[in-house]
């Protein structure tokens, strides 16, 4: 093939690829490649067009999308983090939530709270920044810290003024939901070709907002309702006050907001909204219950990505009946075997479902479920759909379901742990399914976050024996010439993958611990361990010291025995040694802040009167302290409340400083 022909072919290929990925990203809201990979395609197209202007296609992406193809949206960093919400599903969960708050705040009466209740709108979170009353940017939530800059796309939305009126603060982040009315969604869909129709109003809103061509966004009747606040130069006492101010600035809050003074009132309002759901012209999936007082919100703080001071009470899940075509067994990273029902596809609340979890084998037997029965499927939010009950048995096929006797993948023996219903494969280091599971976990979003490396690629490269253990990922270059010839790969995608792998090498210590996939060491425990041990070497050398591990606040017995187990195995030690050669682990700097408790080890004893122990620990941690459960030579302070016991004697003997509640509060600036 002559050179020009080759270039022409490639330009044709690029035009198709760019078109396809644009469509996936902006219309379907389902990107298949990373932003970086997309940018690379655009860049390659641009370079070729510059070099061979005579070959520019009529349908060049540059001509279609304007003078210069825009890559995906620019990133925007939120001034203060955007959060998610934890969920409640029934009255009991609401009651538990309120009791939890009272306990944290050390209140004996939980009827003192004022709640703001409002529908949970099923749309997209938006963060509007106003400086001196002028709208300066609008960003999606993204990962909470960094989102996408969609400022140009939202300029036509009714309830988003470009300028605030009245007495507004100098700086404010106003948060709310962008969505489409059900009726507008229907109208948009009727105009779209069958294959581009949106599955539900939420997808349609996302697709309408994230349009490269802003005129498309502007032509869609997107709506905005505020429901939160980020950074602000002015303080408010109550959510109520904030919403009243919003109205004066010309941003109208939801008129279904209701103030409730007791759990009963919350539950009553929840039922009322649930029943009138079909009369509300936008999709809602629950009721959000928030503490009205900002002062209490501040004290309650956050747990991971969720505020402690709010909860989303979800409406009951959507259900539908369908037939089980077959039951497969999946073996996960920790050897757990999950039965999965393959279903005759069914639409539940706008989403096509063709697989559902059957939880475990005891459940299948108890419910008397088998292939070709009609069953009920439930789908609640983002949770994996599951089979709830048998609807109609197929008596013609009168065979009882039998759980597997051996691992369906590696044929090893199975076992059950004490008090657990889950069957597990015993071949931890040899079972290919467990190995693949660990590889997928290692490259996943919460671990190394290697773009463009998903389940499909891992399985393909594992089956061809190019990767076996996690550390092999860093030696993939050895197989370059083979891989680029594989189905779904090419020069470009391979070099993109290598770039992503290289970019992932710098990793924070807590993420590194998480990525190892030690059982019971999820994000929270990984963070506790990283804070405690500071460096990998200290972690490894402490990992067999039961007394040290037991003394770490928040680390439970299952996690402790799992850590001991993990590090007692040479295979794992080898893996860590190999990973160390490739990765650059970033350790948190010792905070040299002037906080009195920075990097100090605290032990609590006795009953505090002003604060609950949980709040006291939360405060101390936020000032850089480490909390231990027992006194040792490492302890810097014992915080002693009323009725303190033997810890006082032990601390005195070791010469450890003892602070009473008053002194503690003073040092913590309360």
Q: Which residues are catalytic?
A: 120
Residue 431 in contact with Zn ion, rule: CB under 5 A: yes
By CB under 5 A, residue 409 contacts Zn ion: yes
Distances (CA, A) of 96 to 46, 89, 290, 318, 569: 58, 11, 14, 24, 41
> Which listed option, Zn ion, ligand AMP, none, makes contact with residue 177 (CB within 5 to 8 Å by class)?
ligand AMP
Burial of residue 458 (number of CB atoms within 10 Å: 0-12, 13-18, 19+) = buried
Of how many residues is the chain composed? 670
- Please identify, using beta-carbon distances, which residue of 120 and 600 lies nearer to ligand AMP: 120
At 359 the three-state DSSP class reads coil
390 alpha carbon, distance to own chain's centre: 32
Least distance (Å) between residue 222 CB and ligand AMP: 14
Q: Contacts with Zn ion: how many residues (CB under 5 A)?
A: 7
String of DSSP letters for 256-295: T-EEE-SHHHHHHHHHHHHHTGGGSSS-EEEEEEEESBHH
Supply the angle between the helices 182-191 and 201-209 in degrees, to the nearest 10. 70
Minimum separation from the CB atom of position 426 to Zn ion (A): 8
120 binds, among ligand AMP, Zn ion, none (CB under 5 to 8 A by kind): ligand AMP
Q: Near Zn ion by CB under 5 A, which window of 116-124, 256-264, 390-398, 407-415? A: 407-415
The CB-of-228 to ligand AMP minimum distance in angstroms stands at: 6
Tell me how far, at minimum, the Cβ of 429 lies from Zn ion, in Å: 10
Q: Using CB atoms within 10 Å of the CB of residue 217, give its burial: 0 to 12 exposed, 13 to 18 middle, 19+ buried.
A: buried
DSSP notation for 5-32: HHHHHHHHHHHHHHHHHHIIIIISS--S
Closest CA to 280 of 122, 87, 88: 122
Closest contact distance (angstroms) between CB of 223 and ligand AMP is 12
Structure tokens at 324: 């089980």
Told to check if 425 binds Zn ion by CB under 5 A, we report yes
Q: Is residue 410 a contact point for Zn ion (CB under 5 A)?
A: yes
Taking CB within 5 to 8 Å according to partner kind, which of ligand AMP, Zn ion, none is near residue 141?
Answer: ligand AMP
Contact call for residue 292 and Zn ion (CB under 5 A): no
Q: Which is nearer to Zn ion, 124 or 431 (CB)?
A: 431
CB 638 within 8 A of CB 648: yes
CA gyration radius, the chain: 28
End-to-end CA distance of the chain: 77
Nearer to ligand AMP, 300 or 423 (CB): 300
Q: Smallest distance from the beta carbon of 427 to Zn ion, in angstroms?
A: 5
Reported for 559-564, long-range contacts at CB under 8 A and 24+ positions apart, including other chains, are: 559/520, 559/521, 559/525, 562/518, 562/519, 562/520, 562/521, 563/518, 563/521, 563/529
C-alpha distances out from residue 123 to 147, 204, 222, 351, 573, Å: 15, 9, 10, 15, 46
Select the binding partner of residue 228 from ligand AMP, Zn ion, none (C-beta < 5 to 8 A, by kind).
ligand AMP
In 3D space, the residue among 24, 120, 14 whose CA is nearest the CA of residue 59 turns out to be 14
125 binds, among Zn ion, ligand AMP, none (CB under 5 to 8 A by kind): ligand AMP
Torsion of CA 253, 383, 385, 433, to 10 degrees: 160
Residues 522-561 that bind Zn ion (CB under 5 A): none
* Cα–Cα dist 597/621, whole Å: 9
Q: According to the binding rule CB under 5 A, does residue 138 interact with Zn ion?
A: no
Tokens found for residue 322: 């369908």
Q: Which of 41, 212, 407, 668 binds Zn ion (CB under 5 A)?
A: 407
23/406 with CB nearer Zn ion: 406
C-alpha 369/C-alpha 392 separation (Å) is 9
Smallest separation, CB 224 to ligand AMP (Å): 11
Give the nearer residue to Zn ion in terms of CB position, either 302 or 406: 406
Taking CB under 5 A as the rule, does residue 267 contact Zn ion?
A: no
| Cα 181 to Cα 186: distance, rounded to the nearest angstrom | 9
Q: CB of 186: closest distance to ligand AMP in angstroms?
A: 21
390 binding partner (options ligand AMP, Zn ion, none; Cβ < 5 to 8 Å by kind): none
By C-beta, is 21 or 78 nearer to ligand AMP? 78
Question: What is the H or E stretch that residue 314 is in?
Answer: strand 310-314
- Residue pair 439/460 in contact (Cβ under 8 Å)? The answer is no
Between 118 and 451, whose beta carbon lies closer to ligand AMP?
118
118 binds, among Zn ion, ligand AMP, none (CB under 5 to 8 A by kind): ligand AMP
Q: Which does 267 bind (CB under 5 to 8 A by kind): Zn ion, ligand AMP, none?
A: none
Contact of residue 427 among ligand AMP, Zn ion, none (CB under 5-8 Å per partner type): Zn ion
The CA distance from 219 to 627, in Å, is 55
Q: Would you say 631 and 603 are in contact if contact means Cβ atoms under 8 Å apart?
A: yes
525 binds, among Zn ion, ligand AMP, none (CB under 5 to 8 A by kind): none
Which residues are at the interface with ligand AMP (CB under 6 A)? 84-85, 118, 120-121, 125, 141, 177, 227-228, 288, 312
- Write out the two tokens for 303: 């747990």
Nearer to ligand AMP, 349 or 404 (CB): 349
Shorter beta-carbon distance to Zn ion: residue 300 or 436: 436
Q: How far is the CB of 645 from ligand AMP (least distance, A)?
A: 41
Spell out, one character per residue from 117 to 136, where the chain touches Zn ion: x when CB under 5 A holds, - when not: --------------------
Tell me whether residue 120 or residue 441 sits nearer to ligand AMP (CB atom).
120
Shortest spacing between CB 118 and ligand AMP, in angstroms? 4
Report the interface residues with Zn ion, using CB under 5 A.
407, 409-410, 412, 425, 427, 431
């Amino acid at each position: 093939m002559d050179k020009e022909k080759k270039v022409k072919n490639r330009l044709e290929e690029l035009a198709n690829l760019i078109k396809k990925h644009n469509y996936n990203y902006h219309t379907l809201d389902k990107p298949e490649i990373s932003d970086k990979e997309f940018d690379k395609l655009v860049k390659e197209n641009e370079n070729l067009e510059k070099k061979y202007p005579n070959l520019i296609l009529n349908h060049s992406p540059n001509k279609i999308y304007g003078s210069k193809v825009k890559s995906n949206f620019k990133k925007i960093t939120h001034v203060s983090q955007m959060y998610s919400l934890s969920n409640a599903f029934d009255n009991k969960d609401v009651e538990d939530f309120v009791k939890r708050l009272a306990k944290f705040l050390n209140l004996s009466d939980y009827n003192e709270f004022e709640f703001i209740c409002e529908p949970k709108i099923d749309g997209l979170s938006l963060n509007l920044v106003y400086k001196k009353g002028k709208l300066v940017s609008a960003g999606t939530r993204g990962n909470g810290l960094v989102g996408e800059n969609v400022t140009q796309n939202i300029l036509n939305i009714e309830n988003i003024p470009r300028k605030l009126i009245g007495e507004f603060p100098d700086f404010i982040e106003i948060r709310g939901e962008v969505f489409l009315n059900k009726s507008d969604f229907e109208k948009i869909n009727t105009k779209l070709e069958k294959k581009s129709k949106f599955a539900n109003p939420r997808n349609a809103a996302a697709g309408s907002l994230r349009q490269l061509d802003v005129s498309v966004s502007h032509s869609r009747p997107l709506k905005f309702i505020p429901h939160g606040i980020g950074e602000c130069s002015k303080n408010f006492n109550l959510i109520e006050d904030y919403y009243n101010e919003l109205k004066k600035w010309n941003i109208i809050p939801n008129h279904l907001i209701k103030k409730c003074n007791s759990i009963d009132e919350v539950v009553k309002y929840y039922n009322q909204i649930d029943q009138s759901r079909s009369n509300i012209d936008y999709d809602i999936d629950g009721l959000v219950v928030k503490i009205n007082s900002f002062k209490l919100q501040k004290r309650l703080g956050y747990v991971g990505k969720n505020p402690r001071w709010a909860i989303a009470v979800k409406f009951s899940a959507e259900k539908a009946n369908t037939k089980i075509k077959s039951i497969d067994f999946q073996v996960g990273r920790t050897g757990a075997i999950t039965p999965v029902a393959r279903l005759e596809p069914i639409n539940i609340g706008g989403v096509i479902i063709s697989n559902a979890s059957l939880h475990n084998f005891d459940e299948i037997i108890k419910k008397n479920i088998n292939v070709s029965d009609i069953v009920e499927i439930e789908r609640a939010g983002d949770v994996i759909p599951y089979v709830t009950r048998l609807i109609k048995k197929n008596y013609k096929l009168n065979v009882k379901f039998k759980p597997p006797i051996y691992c369906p993948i590696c044929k090893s023996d199975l076992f059950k742990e004490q008090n657990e219903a889950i069957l597990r494969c015993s071949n931890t280091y040899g079972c290919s399914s467990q190995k693949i599971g660990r590889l997928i976990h290692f490259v996943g979003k919460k671990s190394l976050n290697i773009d463009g490396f998903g389940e499909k690629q891992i399985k393909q490269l594992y089956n061809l024996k190019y990767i076996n253990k996690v550390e092999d990922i860093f030696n993939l270059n050895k197989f370059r010439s083979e891989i680029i010839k594989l189905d779904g790969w090419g020069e470009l995608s391979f070099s993109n993958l290598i770039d992503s792998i290289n970019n992932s090498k710098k990793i924070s210590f807590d993420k590194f611990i998480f990525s190892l996939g030690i059982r019971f060491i999820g994000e929270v425990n990984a963070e506790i361990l990283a804070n405690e041990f500071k460096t990998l070497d200290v972690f490894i050398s402490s990992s067999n010291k039961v007394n040290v591990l037991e003394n770490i606040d928040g680390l439970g017995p299952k996690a402790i025995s799992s850590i001991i187990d993990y590090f007692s195995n040479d295979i794992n030690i080898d893996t860590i040694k190999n990973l160390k050669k490739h990765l650059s682990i970033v350790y948190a700097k010792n905070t040299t802040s002037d906080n009195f408790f920075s990097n100090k080890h605290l032990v609590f004893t006795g009953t505090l009167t002003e604060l609950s122990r949980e709040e006291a620990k939360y405060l101390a941690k936020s000032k850089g302290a480490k909390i231990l459960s027992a006194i040792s030579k490492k302890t810097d302070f014992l915080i002693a409340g009323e009725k303190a016991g033997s810890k006082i004697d032990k601390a005195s003997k070791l010469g450890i400083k003892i602070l009473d509640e008053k002194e503690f509060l003073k040092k913590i600036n309360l």
